[in-house]
Amino acid sequence: MMDLVTLARFQFGMTTVFHFFFVPLSIGLAFSVAILETLYVVKKDEMYKDMAKFWGNIFLLSFAVGVVTGIIQEFQFGMNWSEYSRFMGDIFGAPLAVEALLAFFMESTFIGLWIFGWDKFNKKLHATFIWLVSIGTILSALWILAANSFMQNPVAYQINEATNRAELTSFFGLLKNHQLWLEFPHVVFGAFVTGGFVIAGCSAWKLMKKQDTKFFKKSMQFGLIIGLIGSVLTMGAGHAQMNAVANDHPMKFAAMEGIYDDTTGDSAPWNIIAGIDTKNQKTDWEIAVPAMLTILGGKDKFQGMDSVNADLHKQHDEKFGKEMDYYLPVKTLFWGFRFMAGFGTLMALMAIVGLLLLRKDKLQKMNWLLGLFVAGIAFPFISNSTGWIITEMGRAPWTVYGLFTIADSVSPSVTQGSLIFSNIVYFALFLFLGFVMVLYSKRYLKKGPYYVSPSEARKESIDPFSKEAF
């Protein structure tokens, strides 16, 4: 039977990963739809209007599910992590309040105007609405990441000794946290990749069925362009973040690379794959690229987990005790990083190949490759989720790095029974929400962009099953 801390961590991790399926999807699709409607306004091509409407409806589905899962996630701060909320509330409250009052208010208001305003506003004003929605989704990410960045790298705070609470000393100091400006572009560019590959993958599915080929060929080309640009930008942001991790969180960096001993020599190799023996704390074998770790980490020599563990004990034994375990789940971080980077690289290559074949009018004739792009819908979600898992699990044993531990963060009143029950309920709810999202998205895709409902067909004297209706 799992203990309270493990059950609470599993519940929050499950909620976060599921919620994070829809956050980058919403950001990426909103941005893509905004570009499509802008192209419609500039080029006056009705195809772009149809594309904006069609992919905009997929965005609305993802946004709705994302809101529900986000609310569940916030509830857990009070239910399972009240001690963390007490310690962190003064810091966490400010960016979350701004996110709710400004960014989410902007999103929800202008989504309504965009949905119902197609025939009520001029083209430029209507396109402005979806751009404001897109900006709102990006700002929501900014404020959430401002809070998360403090957990990774505490800044602009003081500890109230009387209450043992962290108190914010400068709101702008919180925003100047260098960790924020490493996380934020990485997440947002990754969201653009997600939106692009979902559009491309769904379009590939329709091209395999030879349905609305002109519309979906253009959609796929657009999705792959967004996906390629996003992939390149994500790689650049990820490289900058790797350099910072090597300096700020040496234990996380060493675990991601499976390094137990300090590196030696003028440059460090990067292990593509390795056999890691966590029991004896060593790496049995590896296949490595010479000097690549030096390029990724931005320096020649790196501490291994053994020496980092010794340093952390020297720094924190007085406050947290000698029994504290600073070693991380090495295999999870090591393979998680390779899944994240591997799928990110694969998507960039797929986008290049796809665009070249579309240009030569060959891709729609290659069903096996279209099938790969359909499977590729999952790739950005795998990459996003593994990246988030690395970020959060790499902070252990703290919820707030160097200040507050995971063990001290759990609510004192929570029980094992309540956690088991709520885990089951949430898991069932997430399965249901995921099923509904996939079901309605699939139904919508099957109808295609030119579907006319029977009621609309009657009004227009159109046979709802004729060519004009589809």
* The total number of residues written for the chain in this structure: 470
Domains of the chain, by residue range, sit at: 4-249+329-461, 257-318
Nearest to 384 by CA among 134, 139, 194: 194
pLDDT < 50: residue spans in the chain: 452-470
In DSSP terms, 158 is beta-bridged to 167
Tokens of 131: 């751009």
Packing angle between helix 46-79 and helix 416-447, nearest 10 degrees?
A: 170
Backbone torsions φ then ψ of 165, nearest 5 degrees: -120, 145
pLDDT at 297: 83
| Residue ranges in 249-378 assigned as alpha helix (H) | 250-257, 292-297, 305-320, 330-359, 367-375
pLDDT at 298: 81
pLDDT at 451: 66
Tokens of 67: 């809101």
pLDDT at 72: 84
pLDDT at 31: 98
Alpha-carbon gap, residue 356 to 351, rounded angstroms: 9
| Residue ranges in 176-329 assigned as alpha helix (H) | 180-208, 213-248, 250-257, 292-297, 305-320
pLDDT at 119: 87
